[in-house]
Amino acid sequence: QVRLRESGGGSVQAGGSLRLSCAASPYTRFPYRVAWFRQAPGKEREGVAVIFIKSQYTYYADSVKGRFTISQDNTDNTVNLQMNSLQPEDTGVYYCAARMDPGGSNWRDTNDHDSWGQGTQVTVSS
């Protein structure tokens, strides 16, 4: 089973930017898709963005469209989430999740992923 590790979280003021990275090990093959989720205190985990590795198709939650960009970096086999114009409501623990094999109809379904990272905290102050 692939292990995922997130990095890049931190604290910023509203309007600032952060870049999260998700690294997989061992990296024996490309996953089918990699998604970023977040969970705010007292709320359910929600899907933020996903990238389908072979097609490079990306999808975003409405709340982050135009502000967040998910991308794959082939130089170090990471999936990154560039977050701009951050707002206090973006605060939460951010997780990356991977599904290794094709299938699954809903990337936002937390049960539809094989591996999860441990999460990284993002705090946006007003």
pLDDT string in tens for the chain (126-residue length)? 789 999 999 999 999 999 999 998 877 778 999 999 999 999 999 999 999 999 999 999 999 999 999 999 988 889 999 999 999 999 999 999 999 999 878 999 999 999 999 999 999 999
Residue-level length of the chain:
126
- Cβ-based neighbour number of residue 108 at 10 Å: 14
Distance in Å from the first CA to the final CA of the chain? 40
